[in-house]
Structure 1
């Protein structure tokens, strides 16, 4: 009896724990990152055979629900496809070609390359039986571009833009308790921008599970008003009901500070929305003595929204937000939290050296920290909605943001894109302004532009009334959009008379949305047009435009101008003005594509930052120029700077506000030294020394990395025997890693055609001329016999499945362009028989241990050119007359192992981006180069 009693007690507690776990599961919204373990392969823009026969079916996915064919079909065999993790940019993996797109950095992808313009992605996931009754969704942060998504063969939809986030409800299509297949087809053949945009699923993907009554997509909107040291927070929440519940629900809104302390709470009971309807509810909360979000103290709060049904939490949704005030004044510029603030901004595209647009989250932080270190306080998203992680980094690090939509217009395509961007991003305290357009030359100066701008501005106010709207304008500042836009966005002083426009529209605040663009190559001090290298001394990019210094002075001297956004913070791929091939990146950045600073960074740091600055240019390695005059500049915010060459003074000069100092110095090897003075006292010194020859490789962890991050940025350089960095070094460095993997390499050279990534190359080769003969017995051969040539016929043609032979012998060919011993060649068999024997070039091949339908082919039995494969099989039988039988024998996969990772230094630097393995205690990165001492770095 005791045994029975204890068994009953045990079963009761087991049941109770199960119920509690179930209740917890029901109460918690799940957002699961599903970036890992995808399969990828290229398709084709117009050749359906090369696109895996997609859209060849009698019924397409558009004519009948669930008829996704080719790779869109649930059971498509993708075993031979490449394995990878997201985010992924297939364009950055490609080589360069002069026939590639100028604007996209001459990569062999996109328009002009139909075989590298379509990318297929597939992933299998299991969804448990216990999730029945929930709303299951797929969430994509962005796919470039024109993506079609399928789930278990069902077509979910198309998202044309590569910059929009989107979500699909898959609840009705799920195989609960079993395997499910996600398929994405991305078409990057058309460009949206005139800059590098990448290709593929380059942002995160999530699986979301919620109760049928839940907070809708981007369903909270938080605003605040500050009065008498108290913030009144208005929390608006949109609830959606995709179930049949018709009763009351309770909405609980709670504010927590950064430490997790509860600050304020409110709750109310309301009627749930009707089936497949939404309803908006508003709560008011108070925060006493609020910690304001500011540039130096980016304080954040969390609003936790709970929906309760019969006292049970059925959904929980978190929103980060900040409390702060912003104000534009047409006379006095911009105010943050009541304090005047000059915006010191940069424009930026979203790619980075070595990794293209597929930036790990950590690199977003890395780039924002680089900009802040320069003294920048504002960031313009040029020219599209950013990835959410960028805005999160700006919120947490303290960087103001102009959030920009991609295209101007008044129809659903344009306004819906604007709405989605604003609803997704409007809770970010970093965003101070919305931009609804940039350099729309066709409409900037006419009535059409006025009408579109008025509609977009008014539409934006219906979504967020707390921020102003701007447009970047470059074709004159006289009429059209310039007359009606709320905040005037001036793109370049050379394009119009800013003072004249301001005098005409004195109630319209304005800012330099693009300004100060220059052409400069890091570490180059003599322009060499033949090599496409521009001197790094600040100068006008063209006669009518302003240099960085001239641009900043113009805006700094005018209090009514809000500030300036330099074009650009970082170099970017594509748009290699003023050159073309073989230049593959822009020259506009204050930093190169890696984030290595050009000298202009130190000009801005002198007048944008708060710390004392003294920077001397150029380097002092000018062998062969002895006795020639070299322009020596000092960037500094010191009162005076004195220059010395080999301890001999070349004069002390007074620094003017927002300026720099220059000397003409006849070159002789040695030490160039600058001394900075404030109030007559020496406060800083800076030297440039002539170095010896390269002897050692030095690897260092960049200080902008996040602590304990899985992804790290490493700088490679070479030093002489005294440990001095050699600024002209161009050695090729080879890298090896243990405990992690390399994601990409770069060096900032605008003309470098080196590989960004070294990855195994996967090639798929079809079996052609597939023929058959009847076998006479069900016993399959162990070795090949001689078969009569006259008996071969096209395989499966006119097959009578009710009168099949006991077995069949099939024959086909596949072509190998080379037969390298290092290649791994596999045959992925697709079942065309019950029992099967495979022969290649007369040799019987046994299946692999990992997969009974995979055959690894030894290079010893293969040859360059044509190879012959025989398959002996007993036939599959039709169960129903309408069953579609597989007639594809499979595919040959050739994996060519990658070369070792390597990169040349460019003017002394290269960059390596690495990712630590999940279970590794540390990463060891080693660097090798002929004639140099090996360098190594351990990252815990």
Structure 2
């Protein structure tokens, strides 16, 4: 398990997603003396959870962000009446202007960058950005607990320049989507994993379809086989592998979302590194490389009869993509790179739906900052996709309120493009945004990760059994 999940763990550690998975890994972790460590039982403090309500701030010396800090157990549940001494350290140009729910703020011991807080279950922090562009990192540490942290990018938006003068009416998705990202499937099958339902062995895609899933999402990397890529030498999630998976999806009668990472490795809010083949290119050449690559992938998929029904131009791009050129502080350049991808998709398949995917399920202010800036630059797209993992993206109420506001505020439809936990609750929100704007959801990698819909031996389990009712209520 540990060897298999090396890439997965790397991605989650670097992107800061889902402490629950780290808790699962703790079951098989080995301490410094070589002994297996035991997970702490429910109700016992295990980790400090840090949930930011902004991860992009304006470097104007005024912008503020709310950050929740909470003590949780190995199941991710809050632990009450803890009274745990926590050290909060800030790196970068920012300062704490208030700590709520932790006694008298004025009496807290602190320096400019380090605060000592006695946390009774949880507290809230107000963080104020300085005037320096860059990154702010906040860490919360306590003895014997997993450290919580978050990373915030500071920006100065500048004057917006449109990428096109053309008017664009967002394309409406008419079918409701109950989807899943199962990009790990070829890797699992290469290790001999077989899938079954009630003792009957079958293709994983067919089993999922029988339980109500109607859409599959696949990520694609530019050159994952290179030494620093996602899949050195083996090339999982490259174009050739994607072509084979696309054939299986279409043969099953399901629809297909293609997720361009525009990187050789994981692309998410903490890393959006350009492919090795594009390093050193000037910006004009970089845009052409992204456009040509998009056209090539789309054309090859179209030629074999597997044109994607929907495409993500970038993955979790609220901090930008193809760094450093398309970092969030370079909003004009980011908009131009997104537009290059959109043009590449539409050249090959004008009917394909375009999603912009941001990792901001419960962060309404930051969602609006990103989308407003794309609107100012006239970036054409059809669907707003949100990632929602409770640890980093807030409560279910935060998700519900954000989706409702975005549905009312923007002409695009909205959906949950990634989630794992709280399956029924998340889908109840994802399918009910107001104004008939709700598209649906994609669960992230449910074949093998936390709360998977198959057991580790490939047997469909009770998590799988949640989906027929969801499909009956919202899809069929």
> What is the TM-score normalised by the length of structure 1?
0.19
Between Structure 1 and Structure 2, the one with more strand by share is 1
Give the structure with higher Rg (CA): 1
Between Structure 1 and Structure 2, the one with more helix by share is 2
- The structure showing larger relative contact order (alpha-carbon pairs under 8 Å, at least 6 residues apart) is 2
> What is the TM-score normalised by the length of structure 2?
0.33
